């Protein structure tokens, strides 16, 4: 099974940005953790991070017939991007949405997700472990 992990804007600054919400692990630490989990569970994994909405749309389109599933943390685009939702609806790749912080305890503008209804599940507030949980869920449902 091939899974693509997409991270949206500012997640390249993990470790630096608002550690009270996102913890002290860096983006490199996150990729290492996911990679180790993928190896342990027999999943092939690839990573993409961008601060640009269109680049994320391009990556979702390019994933068509290449990846079996996508784990995505759209970051701030969660709350704004119809384009990312439309890309998923076009390629129909199964996806799980992940958020590191507990959005239910944060600002009202973070309570809405355009992508939520498309996704098989949304994992919120489990820190970076949420990405591994998302991969397990996809493996169980699709594997
Ligand atoms: C986030 C939550 C978003 O509201 C925020 O814009 C992010 C990260 C999370 O992982 O908790 O950049 O998606």
**Domain spans, the chain:** 2-142
Tens digit of pLDDT for each residue in 45-58?
999 999 999 999 99
Rounded mean pLDDT, 129-137? 98
Distance 76 CA to ligand 1 centre (A): 6
The 10 Å Cβ neighbour count of residue 122 is: 18
**With contact defined as beta carbons under 8 Å apart, do 11 and 27 qualify?**
yes
- CA of 98, closest atom in ligand 1: 10
The response to whether residue 124 sits with its C-beta less than 6 Å from ligand 1 reads: no
Rounded mean pLDDT, 11-32? 98
The response to whether residue 7 sits with its C-beta less than 6 Å from ligand 1 reads: no
Judge if pTM exceeds 0.95.
yes
With H, G, I as helix, E, B as strand and everything else as coil, classify residue 15: coil
Which percentage of the chain shows pLDDT scores above 90? Answer: 99
The response to whether residue 10 sits with its C-beta less than 6 Å from ligand 1 reads: yes
Q: Kindly report the average pLDDT of the chain as a whole number.
A: 98
pLDDT band for position 3 (50/70/90)?
Answer: very high
Give the span between the Cα atoms of 77 and 41, in whole angstroms: 30
Alpha-carbon torsion angle 116, 59, 51, 139, nearest 10? 50
* pLDDT attached to residue 86: 98
DSSP bridge partners of 69: 3
Q: For residue 134, what are its two tokens?
A: 């998302």
The response to whether residue 97 sits with its C-beta less than 6 Å from ligand 1 reads: no
With H, G, I as helix, E, B as strand and everything else as coil, classify residue 6: strand
Check pLDDT > 90 for residue 43: yes
User: Best mutation site among 81, 101, 128 for ligand 1, i.e. most ligand atoms within 8 A of its Cβ?
Assistant: 101
- CA of 106, closest atom in ligand 1: 4
* pLDDT attached to residue 55: 99
**With contact defined as beta carbons under 8 Å apart, do 135 and 45 qualify?**
yes
Check pLDDT > 90 for residue 95: yes
* pLDDT attached to residue 143: 81
Check pLDDT > 90 for residue 41: yes
Distance 21 CA to ligand 1 centre (A): 9
Distance 102 CA to ligand 1 centre (A): 9
Q: Which CATH superfamily is domain 2-142 in?
A: Dehydroquinase, class II (3.40.50.9100)
């Amino acid at each position: 099974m091939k899974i693509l992990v997409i991270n949206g804007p500012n997640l390249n600054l993990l470790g630096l940005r608002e550690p009270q919400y996102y913890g002290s692990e860096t983006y490199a630490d996150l990729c290492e953790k996911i990679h180790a989990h993928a190896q342990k569970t027999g999943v092939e994994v690839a990573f993409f991070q961008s601060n640009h909405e269109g680049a994320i749309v391009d990556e979702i389109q390019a994933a068509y017939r290449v990846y079996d599933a996508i784990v995505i943390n759209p970051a701030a685009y969660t709350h704004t991007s119809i384009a990312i939702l439309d890309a998923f609806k076009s390629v129909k790749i199964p996806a799980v949405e992940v958020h590191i912080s507990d959005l239910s305890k944060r600002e009202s503008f973070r309570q809405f997700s355009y992508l939520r209804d498309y996704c098989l599940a949304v994992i919120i507030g489990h820190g970076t472990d949420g990405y591994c949980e998302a991969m397990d869920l996809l493996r169980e449902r699709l594997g």
